[in-house]
Amino acid sequence: MARRIPLAILAVLWAVPAWAAELVDEEGYHYLHISLAGLWGGFFTFLIGIFTVLVGLFLYFAWRKADRQKTRTPFTADRDEEDEQVF
């Protein structure tokens, strides 16, 4: 089952532009007012958005983990107590 999912995704990625290319009449007019460049541009924009969200989540959780693991010393004890009172 797990092997079929990437194959299904590849099939859709191949089929959508091929289907859109068939929607052209004799004069080259697209019935749906779309082009292959527009489809691929939208797809890559979507991928960049997903990548940006994943990087943001990674940085957020890495920051939280580092913040929890900071060492407490007698010199930072007062500052740590103030931080806890704020939150």
- Domain ranges for the chain, please list them: 1-34, 35-87
* Rounded Cα gap, residues 46 and 3, in angstroms: 23
- Global pTM reads 0.43
Which residue do the tokens 């010199």 mark?
A: 75
* Least confident piece of the model among 35-39, 52-56, 83-87: 83-87
Write out the two tokens for 61. 């959780």
3 state SS of 72: coil
Average pLDDT over residues 24-42: 68
Is the pLDDT higher at 37 or at 30?
Answer: 37
Sign of the C-alpha dihedral computed for residues 11, 13, 14 and 16 taken in this order: positive
Phi, psi of 31 (to 5 degrees): -65, -35
| Mean residue pLDDT across the chain | 72
